[in-house]
Amino acid sequence: MASRVTPISGFQEWLPTQRIVEQHFLDTIREVFELHGFASVNTRALEPVERLSDQGEDADKEIYGVRRLAGDDGSTPALGLHFDLTVPFARYVLENGGKLTFPFRRYQIQPAWRGERPQRGRYREFIQADIDIVEADTLPGHYEVELPLVIADAFSRLPIGPYKIQVNNRKICEGFYLGLGIEDVAGTLRTVDKLDKIGADGVRKVLLAAGLSEEQAGKCLDLAAIATPDSSFVGQVRALGVEHPLLDEGLAQLAAVMDAGNEHAPGVLSAELKIARGLDYYTGTVYETVIEGHEDFGSICSGGRYDALASDGKRTYPGVGISIGVSRLLGLLISEGGLTASRETPAAVLVAVTDEESRSDSMRVAAALRARGIATLVAPKAARFGKQIQFADRRGIPFVWFPSEDGDEVKDIRSGDQVPADRDTWSPPEADLRPSLVLP
């Protein structure tokens, strides 16, 4: 009896052309990460629920718990699927601290799982591409400057369109709130971080309900409204008349990030003092990235500095990291933007089969081409050549190879040009060697 297939929302399953786009993004991101000296690691999917649930206001609501369907007597510690890659990486550093060389530069490209209601840009299973720099005991601030420049390098090689990496420093917010006499700094941070979701009036109401005065709430909103393309935000914050040593420290650190950004990736970074990030482990610079024209979609690349996430009570490993939400980004570019690939297969050449008796010769042609790095298919049937050309055309394969005792020929089925070819020397144009990305 056939069973009915029921889709499960919140999971991306791409068609072949879309999967080629995804692989191109992943390969490009990996290449850039390695160009900047990051080493690859891979961590397990499961972490103790206790560790996962200690990372923010809503973290415990998002964890997928995992248990055996049979034979679970309750003695196994509660486990959950990781909802990001930073928490498992911090654990990885603690477990391997004696074997790693610091500063440790790591990249990690893996799935994560989040138990939230699937909606536009938010999935139950998604791929993240992270980089982190971790040091033993003390982390210099220049690493906070470096990470957004790595992302700018990666995005410059991908068809993303105009975007902004929005940068803030939580020390600015925390020092500003302390300077105002606010006691619940963490709660105020989380409330202000919802500014884009509930608006200024909504934030004001929540802050007043939490016990802030009208003046304090107003000053918090004034700070959050500051946004500059350079380090001129420093003067605007000073003009608000709030003082605190932690505020001074944060302003200096963010100014260094913005100055470097304007030198090495002009026009990409924006100081946005409303950015706070919802997870509690961030302690310094924080990043969020939006695609211009799609600001309502939210951040597609985010992260920040954390000083105490990787700590066992004896030694602390401060770090800074940034994560590209690959699935989130591709959900926008593919599903809404129509980004696709020029063909549904990596194959650039289809080797025709004259008849089944000569299939072995077609296979030898394919082997010779593959040996030189040319992705090649052999036709599945010795049909009329018109049918075999049609087979290639439907898949976007640009060239059809015709073996012959009188000399092989290859046809560009797009232009109709057909020329003699040697299996040991012929190559397609570089642009046809691999599928290309196509915008509508």
Quick one: pLDDT at residue 59?
Answer: 54
Q: Is pLDDT of 331 > 70?
A: yes
Vertex 17 angle, CA 13 and 19, to 5° = 40
The answer to whether residue 175 scores a pLDDT higher than 50 is yes
What's the rounded mean pLDDT across residues 237-247?
Answer: 96
Query: Span 391-406, mean pLDDT?
Result: 96
Boundaries of every domain in the chain? 13-139+307-341, 158-288, 349-438
Q: Give the pLDDT confidence of 182-226 residue by residue, as tens digits.
A: 999 989 988 998 888 899 999 999 999 999 999 999 999 999 999
**pLDDT reading at 384 higher than 90:** yes
Question: Running DSSP on this structure, what letter comes out for residue 333?
Answer: I
Just give the CATH number of 13-139+307-341: 3.30.930.10
Residue 375 has pLDDT above 90, yes or no: yes
Helix (H) or strand (E) holding 188: helix 185-192
Please give the Cα distance from 89 to 222 (Å, whole number): 36
Mean pLDDT of 158-177: 95
The answer to whether the 13-139+307-341 and 158-288 domains have the same CATH topology is yes
Whether the per-residue pLDDT at 55 is higher than 70: the answer is no
- What average pLDDT does the structure give for the chain? 92
Q: What is the pTM of this model?
A: 0.90
158-288 to CATH, choices 3.30.930.10, 3.30.70.260, 3.40.50.20, 2.40.340.10: 3.30.930.10
What local confidence, expressed as pLDDT, does residue 358 receive?
94
The answer to whether residue 249 scores a pLDDT higher than 70 is yes
Top-confidence range, 60-64, 209-213, 263-267, 408-412: 408-412
Closest CA to 59 of 94, 84, 90: 84
Query: What pLDDT is attached to residue 60?
Result: 59
pLDDT at 240: 96
Task: Compute CA distances 5 → 2, 12, 13, 117, 244, whole Å.
Answer: 9, 16, 14, 21, 60
pLDDT at position 278: 65
**What's the confidence (pLDDT) of residue 71?**
66
Can you tell me the mean pLDDT for 413-437? 97
The annotated binding site for L-histidine is made up of 84-86, 114, 128, 132, 277, 281-282
Average pLDDT over residues 27-38: 98
The pLDDT value recorded for residue 170 is 92
Q: What residues are designated binding site? A: 84-86, 114, 128, 132, 277, 281-282
pLDDT at 436: 96
Distances (CA, A) of 309 to 21, 55, 95, 339: 34, 9, 13, 38
Confidence category of residue 156, pLDDT binned at 50, 70, 90: very high
User: Binning pLDDT at 50, 70 and 90, where does residue 57 land?
Assistant: very low
Q: 23-27, 60-64, 323-327, 332-336: which has the minimum mean pLDDT?
A: 60-64
75 band by pLDDT with thresholds 50, 70 and 90 = low
Nearest CA-CA partner of 132 in 82, 85, 164: 85
Choose which CATH entry (3.40.50.300, 3.40.50.800, 1.10.3720.10, 3.30.470.20) describes domain 349-438: 3.40.50.800
